[in-house]
Amino acid sequence: MASDMLRFVMHEHGSTRPHYDFRLEIGGVLKSWAIPKGPSMNPAEKRLAVMVPDHVLEYIDFEGIIPEGRYGAGPVVVWDTGDFIPLDTDDPQMALTRGKLRFELKGKKLKGAFALALMKGLPKSTGKEWLLMKMKDSHAKSSYAIKTELTPKKLATLKEKDPPCETE
Ligand code: MN
């Protein structure tokens, strides 16, 4: 059934503070994390991923320039997207509630097993600090440098567009 085909997107967001936004389709919404440095295919590079409010599913393929004056103003492009498969659980929402979710990504760039883990015991924790990690597998790379998709050529194709929900 199509219902067990879940999707992910990694948006690249050129707002005042450029970052990437990782979103997983869980429970009919996009669970979302802002990742300042973006993802890595290197298991040695754990990336801070700050949980932000859920986004609506319609946002999954959003590309455009969020207008000035709106939160998150600036260009947004789909950096990578594809299917996502929860690992070791039938209930990814519960796994998130417990603070750890392992999953496989079938993107064009992001492939293989990853994990999101809530950071516990931080001195100034807001409870929203997670780490996104590549797990060791045949897709892992020992060195990885992220490449922007917000190229001048791509930027020239983007139009100002209101997102279907508040964005971060
Ligand atoms: Mn963002």
**How many Å lie between the centroid of ligand 1 and the Cα of residue 165?**
12
The structure's pTM equals: 0.94
Q: Rounded distance, CA 40 to CA 132, Å?
A: 9
Residues 6 or more apart from 26 whose CB is under 8 A from it? 6, 92, 93, 96
**How many Å lie between the centroid of ligand 1 and the Cα of residue 1?**
31
C-alpha Rg value of the chain to the nearest Å:
16
pLDDT at residue number 4: 62
Instruction: State the pLDDT confidence band at 1, using cuts at 50, 70 and 90.
Output: very low
- Whether 130 maps to a domain, the answer reads yes
Asked if pLDDT for residue 105 goes beyond 70, the answer is yes
- Whether 90 maps to a domain, the answer reads yes
Three-state secondary-structure class, residue 13: strand
- Whether 167 maps to a domain, the answer reads no
Q: How many domains, the chain? A: 1
Strand partners, 7: 83
- Whether 44 maps to a domain, the answer reads yes
Residue range(s) defining the domain that contains residue 66: 2-153
Q: 166 or 55: which carries more pLDDT confidence? A: 55
Residue 22 structure tokens: 């990782």
Q: Rounded distance, CA 23 to CA 18, Å?
A: 16
**How many Å lie between the centroid of ligand 1 and the Cα of residue 45?**
21
Task: Provide the percentage of residues in the chain whose pLDDT is more than 90.
Answer: 86
Each residue's pLDDT tens digit, 22-43: 999 999 999 999 999 999 999 9
- Whether 165 maps to a domain, the answer reads no
Instruction: State the pLDDT confidence band at 94, using cuts at 50, 70 and 90.
Output: very high
CB atoms within 10 A of CB 64: 15
